Structure 1
Amino acid sequence: MYVRLHLQNKTIIVTGASSGIGERLSWHIAKNGGTPIMIARSLDKLENQREKLKRSFDATSFAYQADITDHEEFEDVIKQILTDHKQIHGLINNAGVGVFDYVNEMKLDDMERMFQLNVFALIRGTKLLLPHFSANRRKCHIVNIASQAGKIATPKSAVYAATKHAVIGFTNALRLEVASKGIYVMAVNLGPVRTNFFTTADPDGSYQKSVARYMLDPDKVATKIVKNLFSKKREINLPHWMDAGSKLYQLFPGGVETLLKKQFNRK
């Protein structure tokens, strides 16, 4: 089967690359001729991924171990990447975590962890790479994995939704700031995806059971994102019916909350 190698000679950083969407993003980047630079806490998983990419596509890829919530560790690994590689063309801020619970019952440590990973690490990584991207005469791309929760907040996801609101706001402002520098910026707003995200977000599995038939396939999500790399696309919103719901919510928030009260409380 013919594959369009539209990422030939493109080197792209993917955070949270050891599993789920990040693992599939790395796979499809390599499949389309690109070079994924994978960052995660588990070096063993990343090395296994490198071997698979080499066997499947004879692809070159790179693995860097880092806890990106550790400020110094993340800064050091980005500096190392920029030393090791002459040109980075893209950054996909994929790493994220969620904990679903009512605000008055949620642990403060969980709140802080969500903001550290979902927001501050994303902003920090972007800021560290912006000078490099700005100095590049070719088109570069920053992709931030946000969530439909950043558009429609529901009970037990108040803090998680707040982090994704922040990501969407940051993404929209950054797009305006760097437009004249040839840097594309895209937000990816997803509904529930079939990954190990829910091991932390929903330990008892009740939410997963209630939305199982609506869950997105991480491979299809990654395919869609990779297809739109280095394009001017502003957002990817999946699934489409949830995107339509979020647009309706912006127009009639009270009515949507009343109409979908039962669904909103499924967590």
Structure 2
Amino acid sequence: MKDSLRNKVVVITGASSGIGRSIALESAGRGATVILIARRKERLDEIAAEAKELSGAKAYVFPTDMGKPEDIEKTFDEITKQVKHIDFLVNCAGFGKFEEFVEQKMQDIINMFQVNVLGLMYFTRLIGRVMMEQKTGQIVNFGSIAGKVPTTKSAAYSASKAAVIQFSNVLRLELKPFGVKVMTVNPGPVYTNFFNVADKTGNYVKNVQEFMLDPDDVAWQVVHFFGSDKRELNLPLSLAVLAKLYNLFPTIGDKLSLEFASRK
């Protein structure tokens, strides 16, 4: 696997920490040229240095706020000046806040959708056009198990991730004639900085320890499916099964969610 991505270009949003960072380093470890996108330049510079050490290839840094269309446009223009092709786009950027919906600030909800959904869609639109012209490429969008199985205190966040999942499903159909693939990754809870914002009490993390994923493990699985026809990757297996059962038995699913899964 060491050189399986040699001469491939992988663009990663949300690359400064968590799953995005892990995917960047996993890709670099397989020889890829990585393009790192997030707001914190100092963190991106550190990860770029690690990536270069692993790959021996270039690593580009583009500080970008994925909630701002003007930032996205500027970054896209710079990327196309630096590289001649884009093989993979991994949209990891996103955040959540766990609160009762009727108590949640409307601005927080707007910001969540701006980054998790609209920023992702806009950047994907720009990169997708490049891939259509190339007649090859793969887009990997991060949804969440939360977009499939409802739990309390996550109405807005879950809605944003459900939007990503359905957007990806339709995009897959539209881009297939051009040889461009689309995969959705729906992880359960992951040990990342996500919960520093989403769950300031720390209660949710304590209550879902048995389901928590390691970001490096998630990254390995995602990169393993680069170039494949896999439509969707749901992690961990136990929550993937739960998501299927919820669709089959939604009334029972609601009761179980309230009793066991709504632990925020």
The bucket for the TM-score relative to the shorter chain is over 0.9
CA deviations on 1:124-159 (whole Å, 9 max, x unpaired) are 00111122111104x200000000011111110111
Which AA in structure 1 matches 2:7? Answer: N
Q: 69, 72, 93: which is aligned to 1:71?
A: 69
After the TM superposition, which of the residue ranges 112-121 and 81-90 deviates more from structure 2?
81-90
For structure 2, the residue ranges without an aligned partner over 5 or more in a row are: none
**Counterpart for residue 42 of structure 2:** 44
Within the candidate set 86, 96, 99, 1:98 is matched to 96
Maintained 8 Å contact 2:28/2:54? no
Structure-2 separation of matches of 1:39 and 1:121: 12
Separation (CA, whole Å) in 2 of partners of 1:54 and 1:172:
34
By how many angstroms is 1:4 displaced? 4.1
1:218 maps onto 2:215 in alignment: yes
After TM superposition, give the deviation of residue 44 of structure 1 in Å. Answer: 0.7
Q: Secondary structure at the match of 1:62?
A: strand
CA RMSD of aligned residues (A): 1.1
Partner of 1:107: 105
Provide the residue aligned with 2:253 in structure 1: 256
**Amino acid in structure 1 at the alignment position of 2:96:** G
Q: Given the alignment of the two structures, is residue 83 of structure 1 paired with residue 73 of structure 2, yes or no? A: no
Q: Return the letter of the residue paired with 2:198.
A: A
Letter of the 1:183 counterpart: V
* 1:118 corresponding residue in structure 2: 116
2:31, 2:256 → 1: CA distance?
46
Structure 1 residues 48-57 or 69-78, which shifts more?
48-57
What residue identity is the alignment partner of 1:32? R
Task: Measure the CA separation in 1 of the matches of 2:27 and 2:197.
Answer: 27
Change (3 A) 1:74 1:260: closer
> Percent of aligned positions with the same letter in both sequences?
41
Once the two structures are TM-superposed, the CA of residue 236 in structure 1 deviates from its matched residue by 0.6
CA distance in 2, matches of 1:196, 1:6: 30
The TM-score, its normalising length taken from structure 2, stands at: 0.97
CA distance in structure 1 between the aligned counterparts of 2:213 and 2:32, rounded to whole angstroms:
24
Q: In the alignment, which of 167, 172, 194 is matched to residue 170 of structure 1?
A: 167
Choose the corresponding residue for 2:179, options 174, 178, 182.
Answer: 182
* DSSP-derived class of the 1:121 partner: helix
| Unpaired segments ≥5 residues, structure 1 | none
* 1:149 aligns with one of 122, 146, 149: 146
Contact 2:165-2:184 within 8 A present in 1 as well: yes
Partner of residue 22, structure 2: 24
Aligned-pair CA distance for 1:86? 1.0
Distance 2:9 2:226 in 1: 12
Distance 1:82 1:22, change over 3 A: same
Q: Which moved more, 1:4-13 or 1:36-45?
A: 4-13
Q: 1:245 is matched with which residue?
A: 242
Looking at structure 2, the residues matched to 31 and 56 of structure 1 have their Cα atoms a distance apart, in angstroms, of: 5
Shift in Å at residue 56 of structure 1? 3.5
CA distance in 1, matches of 2:53, 2:139: 28
Distance 1:76 1:220 in 2: 32
SS across alignment from 2:208? helix
